[in-house]
Amino acid sequence: MNFAVYAVSALVLAFAQPGELTPLGENLKPTEFETLAHVMADASNYMDQVLANLRDQLHINGFNSVALPDQEVGFKQTIGGVEWHGEAKLYNGSLKNMDTIHRTGAADITILPDGDIVIAADAGVNYGELDYDMSVEFMDLGPHVAVKGKLSKVRVLIQLRVTSSLNVTMEKFDIKDTGLLTVDIKGLGAILNFLVEIIAVFLGNLIKGIVAWLLEGVIKDLINDIISGILFPPSAFAAITSVLLEKNADFQKFLGVVRLQFQTRPTVMFKLILFALLLAPPVVFTEPHNLFIDALRPFSDDIRSWISTIGRDGSVDNVEIQADYFGCDLCSILIPLVDLALQRYSTGQIQQMVITACKILDLAPQPEVCEPIIKSYTDQFLYILGPTNPHAKYICGIINSNCGDVDADLEDWRIIVDKNKPQVLSKPRIPDEVDTVKILQFTDIHLDPDYKEGTTTECGSGMPICCREEYGYNDTVRAAGKYGDFNCALPNTALDAMYNHSKTVHADAKYIFLTGDYVHSGVWLYSKVENSRAIKYATEKLVAEFADSDAKIYPLTGNHEPHVINLYPPNDLWSRNESGVINDDFSLEWLYKLVLDPFIKRDSNLLPKEEQENFLSFGYYSVSPEPGLRLLAINTNLCYDQNFWLAFYPQDPNGQLQWLADELLKAETNEESVIIIGHVQPEGCWPVWSDKFHAIINRFEGIIRAQFYGHSHRPQHRVTFEKGTTRGSSVSFIAGSALTDGMNPGYAVYYFDGVRDGRTWDPVRQELVILKLDESNEKEQAVFETITDTKEHFGLKDLRPESVYDMAKRMICDQQLLDNYLEFYSKGEDSRSHYGCSIQNNTCKASIICNIVSSDSSDPAPCTEIKRTIEATQCRNGRGQSSSDHIISNISLLAMSFLFFCLVFKH
């Protein structure tokens, strides 16, 4: 009997057993629990051992590079009304890397009636390479070119039968896919370019036959030889037969095994329970029917414990984290099951199933949170996973690059970028005393208009918006202060104070960037009406505060603004009626208009009409606020890896990257300096998107002066590097939030070289201004402090990429610098989330410094290099020494000691 089928059958029986279940796990020996916990892992490990031996044998026998036969391909093409015939000759061919075959999924186990077991697993090759030389004869042309190909998606099912004597034989070897070949041919010229497709089709058919021969005629035989010499682990075989086969008559014992499995192998067991739910009759999802409740209640603590391991910070208690993160374990289990559920149940039944599970398993901080969150996601989520989306099966791989394969077409899309990159020249030094342009940035306000001073700050574990009258007053806990609380969303009073302070102290600011997330984190309350309240207050209050100022204010949206958090449907799905009015619930025009309108009313010339339309349709825009300067506001919510619409439209959502490349080329042609603003920093985006974005940034590094983002809530810097080097090409500034989420609220002030003749528009200096929350509440008066000046506290003469990267390297052995950066990172030493980090603690400082050098989620190399440097450097007295320096130092110290000894002895 198949292990999964058995577990599902047992759990389905539970739905037919009303009343309380007897205590689970009685009378089962601890050794039985332990062996079962390792069964699935042992099966996968055994298959990995076989495949490792296979890779060695392929390499030893020369199949890591297989010679391909010479080929001749005849073709014809009509040019100018005349049919021309030609021939292409392929020679010196090879297929490489078939020795990279590996397991692509977890092994499954089936028990046969005779007591034997069958282990089954998929294996495949994703990194095959094809090479051919090719000569062409056509008309008067005869080029010699190289043909390059990439082979992926080769898949084969391997089933191995294990007898009671632990001998292993091949049960089945099934070729599921001979692979996908992509071909690249350069140098054919415009006339012969049509030949690429002909050769690609020809080679695709050729390689299918070659791969089939290798799999069936070589790899299968090698596996048979290998398994004859590798016994299956006795412990795994004994566990399967003794615990599953012999104990299956005792239903309660088996449920005990299931429960223990939640503690040791939760992912597998959670999958089995979800399968059981799909097989159960729909009536179990209807409250107050007790079958579903009785079946799942014994597993409540275990399921909740498992759920808690999949969040970013390991905490299930934070409802915002749950709504904001979809881990690989959960995704890979749920997505296939949703497809099955759609075939069996109505939308309402699916909703009720999830709502009921959420409530009875206590998966949310408060039960009332479950229903509104689940209902808000249902329509869009089921549309994304429905039959209209050809990419639905790749959603896990798109939102988490380490979570399954993604079709090559979804990763290999091209952005047309001008390749004539000007030579990168060293920039002249910025004078020490230079007049500057001041820019302010407010981000991640997360305003709660219903915040009530004096209410309780404790309203249930993980609730992000306490401090409301609905949660009451409690004299036994800290009361909500006038300017906010570290456990609550931001009150109007704190935002008013920050806006007023910025206007009073920085009245000469020329530009203000408002980079999104105006709405509190009570995501279960989200609706267009609720979100609009916070958005209108945050934007209109800023307009009112700076009413008599000439400062230009440029806004954006964040991932919290839509009425369904994180979800930014592509513009193509915004349906319109016959009058052209958008009437579909997927539309976000209401949001873009709400954010932009106050600033257009304040300054009708803020954006050209065309760019206003861009923002209302796509959420991005381009503007030149003064001659020689270009501002590009991008919508990184589209690429955010928690925007599940990426699975529907992953190839350059809303055409933004192509637009960005085109706008940068125009700016370069017009000799403009460029500043980029966005909400989610690009390392929070789908790595495929991030990689293409940073390629654009590196191409136009000569004109991009700075990038500004929010979202992370902690003030940070990010250096972008030229691919494969440690040469910085751009710097991103991530402003700290205005929210009181364990940190003081704050805003950022930047100073740019934008006044003098010969100005570079490079950032020169940055300040972090905080509202000291505890002191302000105690005095009932807003107290502000500038806690960071990058020139004074970080020793930075400017904020160019090379300077910020140098700061990161200096931080390795400079304790004072590291302390100063951590104060900046936490928005003050009196913030609840502030922590210390010693330069002697390599792990701690690596986590901080890696953040500074990790702007591209597709490129871990800069972080890896920093970690290597940290490990090779020993810090003494606040200064760094490499390992070789340390050895020389020790030898010098020894020599000096010897001389001192000689002098003492002499006297």
pLDDT of residue 320: 37
Nearest Cα to Cα of residue 313 among 303, 324, 301: 324
d(CA 446, CA 488): 10
Bridge partners (DSSP) listed for residue 872: none
Residue with tokens 């490129």: 859
Position 881 pLDDT exceeds 50: no
Instruction: Compare 361 and 822 and report the one with higher pLDDT.
Output: 822
Predicted pLDDT of residue 297: 54
CB contact set of 725 (below 8 Å; sequence gap of 6+): none
Question: Is residue 283 scored above 50 in pLDDT?
Answer: no
Tally Cβ neighbours within 10 Å of residue 549: 16
Q: How confident is the model over 845-872, as a mean pLDDT?
A: 88
Phi-psi category of residue 430: left, alpha or beta, with phi > 0 → left and psi -120 to 50 → alpha: beta
For residues 45 and 306, the answer to whether their CB atoms sit within 8 Å is no
* Six token digits for residue 275: 């399968």
Among 181-190, 307-316, 879-888, name the most confident range. 181-190
| pLDDT score of 510 | 98
Residue owning tokens 């005393």: 433
> Quick check: 392 pLDDT over 90?
no
Domain encompassing residue 115:
31-243
Mean pLDDT in residue range 320-345: 60
Burial of 101 (0-12, 13-18, 19+ CB in 10 A): buried
The more confidently predicted of residues 64 and 516 is 516
pLDDT for the residue numbered 90: 92
Q: Is the pLDDT of residue 610 over 50?
A: yes
Q: Which residues pair with 232 in a beta bridge?
A: none
Return the pLDDT at 291.
45
Per-residue model confidence (pLDDT) at position 439 = 98
Number of folded domains that form the chain: 2
Q: Please report which confidence band the pLDDT of residue 766 belongs to, taking 50, 70 and 90 as the band edges.
A: very high
Bridge pairing between strands 621-626 and 108-111: unpaired
Written as six digits, the tokens of 190 are 């415009």
- Confidence at residue 679, expressed as pLDDT on a 0 to 100 scale: 98
Give this prediction's pTM: 0.68
Regarding predicted confidence, which is higher, 31 or 387? 387
Q: Is the pLDDT confidence value at 775 over 50? A: yes
Compare 458 and 880 and report the one with higher pLDDT. Answer: 458
pLDDT, residue 242, reads: 52
Tell me the average pLDDT across 105-133.
80
- Higher-pLDDT residue of 575 and 534 is 534
Q: Does the bond joining 569 to the residue before it have cis omega, within 30 degrees of 0? A: no
Q: What's the pLDDT at 298?
A: 54
> At residue 600, does pLDDT exceed 80?
yes
Assess whether pLDDT exceeds 90 at residue 455.
Answer: yes
Mean pLDDT over 771-790 rounds to 96
Rounded to an integer, the average pLDDT of 401-418 is 79
Average pLDDT on 666-674 reads 97
> Does 384 score more than 70 pLDDT?
yes
The per-residue pLDDT for 393 is 75
Q: Which is more confidently placed, 395 or 847?
A: 847
- Are 709 and 678 within 8 A, CB to CB? yes
Higher per-residue confidence, 883 vs 371? 371
- pLDDT value at residue 362: 66
482-499 pLDDT, tens digit each: 999 998 999 999 999 999
CA 891 – CA 307 distance, rounded (Å): 55
CATH number, residue 680: 3.60.21.10
Average of per-residue pLDDT across 425-446: 93
Give the SS3 label for residue 419.
Answer: coil
Residue 580 lies in a domain: yes
Residue 353 lies in a domain: no
For residue 319, pLDDT over 60 is answered with no
CA dihedral of 455, 459, 464, 467, whole degrees rounded to 10: 0
Is residue 468 scored above 90 in pLDDT? yes
* Rg of the chain taking only CA atoms, in angstroms: 32
Residue 755 lies in a domain: yes
CATH of the domain at 217: 3.15.10.50
Give residue 118's pLDDT: 84
The pLDDT, as a whole number, for residue 329 is: 60
Residues in contact with 797: Cβ distance below 8 Å, sequence separation at least 6, in sequence order: 430, 432, 791, 803
Confidence of residue 448 (pLDDT cuts 50, 70, 90): very high
Name which of 119-123, 228-232, 433-437 the model is least confident about.
228-232
- pLDDT of 315 reads 32
* Residue whose entry in the numeric block shows the structure tokens 């949206």: 557
> Whose CA is closest to 357, among 299, 281, 279, 315?
299
Please tell me the least confidently modeled range out of 240-244, 321-325, 652-656.
Answer: 321-325
pLDDT of residue 726: 84
Contacts of 494 (CB under 8 A, 6+ apart): 483, 484, 738, 740, 745, 771, 782
Residue 236: what pLDDT?
61
Q: Is-contact 200 75, C-beta < 8 A? A: no
pLDDT at 583: 53
Cβ neighbours, 10 Å, residue 807:
21
Instruction: Note the pLDDT of residue 712.
Output: 92
CA distances 873 to 362, 807, 814, 837, 877, Å, are 48, 16, 12, 17, 13
Residue with tokens 């800290």: 478
Q: What is the mean pLDDT of residues 709-721?
A: 95
Local confidence band at 500 (pLDDT 50, 70, 90 cut-offs) = very high
Top-confidence range, 77-81, 85-89, 268-272, 823-827:
823-827
233 DSSP assignment: P
Do residues 326 and 370 lie in contact, with contact meaning Cβ atoms separated by under 8 Å? no
Predicted pLDDT at 504? 97
Residue 358 falls inside a structural domain: no
* pLDDT value at residue 106: 64
Confidence of residue 573 (pLDDT cuts 50, 70, 90): confident
Task: Return the pLDDT at 794.
Answer: 96
Distances (CA, A) of 580 to 385, 528, 583: 28, 21, 9
Q: What is the pLDDT of residue 11?
A: 36
CA distance 283 to 326: 28
**pLDDT band at 361; cut points 50, 70, 90:** low
Q: Of 856, 871, 886, which marks where a domain is finished?
A: 871
Q: Is 138 a residue whose pLDDT tops 90?
A: no
Looking at per-residue confidence, does 594 or 570 come out higher?
594
Terminus-to-terminus CA distance in the chain, angstroms?
90
Position 29 scores a pLDDT of 40
Q: What integer pLDDT is reported at residue 330 of this predicted model?
A: 61
Mean of per-residue pLDDT scores for the chain: 81
Q: Are strands 728-734 and 784-789 parallel, antiparallel or unpaired?
A: unpaired
In a domain, 250, yes or no: no
Tell me what pLDDT residue 17 has. Answer: 32
pLDDT for the residue 299: 54
Position 280 scores a pLDDT of 47
Is the pLDDT reported for residue 783 higher than 90? yes
The answer, yes or no, to whether residue 10 has pLDDT greater than 50, is no
Least reliable range by pLDDT among 614-628, 739-753, 809-823, 835-849: 835-849
Q: Is residue 771 part of a domain?
A: yes
- Picking from 326-340, 585-599, 665-679, which range would have the lowest pLDDT averaged per residue? 326-340
Which residues, 6+ apart, have CB-to-CB distance to 393 below 8 Å?
335
More confident residue, 342 or 742: 742
Which one, of 641, 660, 659, 662, lies nearest residue 650 by Cα?
641
Q: How many percent of the chain have pLDDT more than 90?
A: 46
